[in-house]
Amino acid sequence: MSTVQLMTRIAETDVTFTLQKHDWIAKCLICGGPLRFDAHTGEGADIEHIQPRSLGGTNDLHNVGITHRKCNGEKGLRWDGHRRRRAEPDRYQALIGRLRAERERRWRDPIRSHAARHPEAKLA
């Protein structure tokens, strides 16, 4: 699966996302601020692995979210591969827990997401 395909799958399963013309519009998983990315190229956002791949995380849709590039970069620099994670394991686990809880709070079924992208389509 390409990066853009994964970004689309994430957007489809996040209730904050709507597709407007050629852009997905929503809220950053980390900061909650407004976010927009190009549905065809993925430009404008990053994929956040809540449990980093370097620490055993996967591309499972419950482990990934869409973020601002800056937010994703700061989490990576400050926590995921840094001594701070090892020095402050309780704070790191609290961050991971908060992001997991937010991703689950935003979760929507993929079938519903199709309806959200295509309101003219009726579910059987």
pLDDT at residue 124 greater than cutoff 50: no
More confident residue, 123 or 72: 72
User: Residue 122 has which token pair?
Assistant: 């009726």
pLDDT (mean) for 83-99: 84
Which residues, 6 or more positions from 12, have their beta carbon under 8 angstroms from its beta carbon? 108, 110, 113, 114, 116, 117
How far from 27 is each of 32, 62, 81, 85, CA to CA, in Å?
A: 5, 16, 25, 26
**Model pLDDT for residues 34-49, shown as the tens digit of each residue:** 999 999 999 999 999 9
pTM of structure: 0.83
Rounded Cα distance, 11 and 40, in Å: 13
